């Protein structure tokens, strides 16, 4: 039973999974969590405006990786893979990021292709679902981008039918449109227009009309699920495979956009690092929900705690 470590570094957060991998007689593989951890480092802070990774963002990421390295060494994990997405792809000073990772973690950070990112996200997200419920549409509302991945899953392998990474996410949209606290009606209207225009490109690239089940991953949708469930604190076991209706998405989006910073921060399951950007993420999810209802008739989202991080861990073995 090999023990592996997977790290996913996104625009807003950096996450660690240390897990034992079991290969079953039928060829399927499963993970047993040893440790999961998430830090909000806001690596993409200001990238949309400056084209550079901010020095303080790099330092926050370095500090998180230093702690992750200690956890990996203590766990005895034999292999580590780190994947970096979105914020690092086009930053003018991306070389500083990669050098920092090598020095801190001792491995190379991989900026994977969009196709590989889609496959890893899909495998991680649908692994606990009944293959007969497919085709599945997996969406990941991140800090800097939103991914759509459509595919089949037979319990062992994934067949990706289409994927697209759209340049809109919770951090990017907040920095571009939602400047007030709480956001004004004009700012929300502008953010909706930007999101719809950007996601139109995604839906032109990925035909979702045949999708039968919508699966959402990552912090925006899991936080909205926690709020909708009325949780007093974040509970992954309650959130995993919970379902959120389109009306539930819309209602929670409206509530969050009407709150100020202090009110959002007081929500029990809200991570402090998401307080400033959760409204933007909820708005993107709301646009997705409306578009999917129209294009495929799907009226709810299945929320998964498993995502690209799990796909990365499985890829190591």
Q: What is the pLDDT of residues 208-238, one digit of tens each?
A: 999 999 999 988 999 999 999 999 999 999 9
More confident residue, 147 or 26: 147
Q: Residue by residue, what is the 3-state secondary structure of 100-146?
A: HHHHHHCCCEECCCHHHHHHHHHHHHHCCCCHHHCCEEEEEECCCCE
- Sheet with 158-166, strands from edge to edge, namely 158-166, 146-153, 136-141, 213-217, 300-304, 242-245
Of the pLDDT bands very low, low, confident and very high (cuts 50, 70, 90), residue 157 is confident
**What pLDDT shows up at residue 86?**
60
Question: 116: pLDDT confidence band, cut at 50, 70 and 90?
Answer: confident
Q: Are 135 and 152 in contact (CB under 8 A)?
A: yes
Is residue 59 classed as helix, strand or coil in its secondary structure?
helix
The encoded tokens of residue 151 equal 């595919």
Percent of all residues in the chain with a pLDDT value above 70, rounded to a whole number: 98
Q: Which residues contact 251 (CB under 8 A, 6 or more apart)?
A: 228
pLDDT for 4 beyond 70: yes
pLDDT at residue 168 is higher than 80? yes
Residue 10: pLDDT band with limits 50, 70, 90:
confident
Q: Of residues 30 and 269, which shows the higher confidence score?
A: 269
pLDDT at 267 exceeding the cut of 70: yes
Distance between CA atoms of residues 248 and 260, nearest Å: 20
Rounded average pLDDT over 250-264: 96
Q: How many CB atoms lie within 10 A of CB 210?
A: 11
Q: Which of 77-91, 172-186, 290-304 has the lowest mean pLDDT?
A: 77-91
Mean of the pLDDT values across residues 233-252?
95
**pLDDT attached to residue 27:** 67
Residue scoring higher pLDDT (28 or 266) = 266
* 107, pLDDT greater than 80: yes
Model confidence at 293: pLDDT above 90: yes
- pLDDT of 49 above 90: no
* Residue carrying the six token digits 């405006």: 49
The tally of CA atoms less than 13 A away on the side-chain side of residue 80 is: 22
Cβ proximity of 143 and 13 under 8 Å: yes
Q: Which helix (H) or strand (E) holds 223?
A: helix 219-228
User: Model confidence over 171-202: pLDDT tens digits?
Assistant: 899 999 999 999 999 999 999 999 999 999 99
Q: What's the N-to-C CA distance of the chain in angstroms?
A: 10
Q: Is the pLDDT of residue 11 over 70?
A: yes
As a whole number of angstroms, the distance between CA 90 and CA 24 comes to 40
Which domains, and CATH codes, for the chain?
A: 3-111 (3.30.420.40), 129-304 (3.30.420.150)
Q: Find the mean pLDDT for residues 75-91.
A: 86
What pLDDT score does 87 carry?
Answer: 67
Q: Quick one: average pLDDT of 271-282?
A: 94
Distances (CA, A) of 195 to 8, 14, 49, 51, 276: 25, 24, 17, 21, 18
Task: Give me the residues paired with residue 17 across strands.
Answer: 6, 36
The answer to whether the beta carbons of residues 49 and 41 sit under 8 Å apart is no
């Amino acid at each position: 039973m090999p023990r592996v470590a997977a790290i996913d570094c996104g625009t807003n957060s950096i996450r660690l999974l240390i897990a034992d991998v079991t290969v079953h007689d039928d060829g399927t593989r499963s993970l047993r969590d040893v440790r999961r951890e998430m830090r909000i480092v806001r690596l993409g802070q200001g990238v949309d405006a400056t084209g550079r990774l901010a020095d303080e963002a790099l330092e926050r990421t370095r500090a998180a990786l230093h702690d992750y390295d200690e956890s990996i060494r203590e766990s005895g994990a034999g292999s580590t893979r780190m994947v970096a997405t979105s914020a690092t792809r086009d930053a003018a000073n991306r070389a500083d990021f990669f050098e920092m990772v090598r020095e801190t973690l001792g491995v190379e950070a991989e900026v994977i292709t969009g196709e590989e990112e889609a496959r890893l996200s899909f495998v991680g997200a649908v692994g606990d679902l009944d293959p007969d419920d497919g085709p599945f549409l997996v969406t990941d509302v991140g800090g800097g981008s939103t991914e759509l991945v459509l595919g089949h899953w037979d319990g062992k392998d994934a067949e990706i039918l289409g994927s697209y990474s759209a340049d809109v996410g919770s951090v990017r949209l907040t920095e571009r449109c939602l400047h007030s606290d709480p956001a004004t009606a004009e700012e929300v209207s502008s953010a909706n227009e930007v999101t719809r225009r950007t996601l139109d490109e995604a839906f032109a690239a990925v035909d979702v009309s045949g999708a039968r089940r919508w699966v959402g991953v990552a912090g925006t949708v899991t936080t909205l699920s926690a709020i909708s469930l009325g949780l007093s604190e974040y509970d992954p076991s309650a959130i995993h495979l919970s379902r959120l209706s389109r009306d539930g998405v819309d209602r929670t989006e409206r509530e969050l956009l009407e709150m100020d910073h202090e009110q959002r921060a007081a929500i029990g399951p809200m991570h402090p690092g998401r307080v400033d950007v959760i409204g933007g993420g909820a708005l993107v999810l709301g646009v997705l929900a409306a578009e999917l209802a129209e294009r495929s008739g799907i009226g709810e989202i299945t929320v998964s705690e498993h995502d690209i991080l799990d796909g990365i861990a499985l890829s190591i073995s």
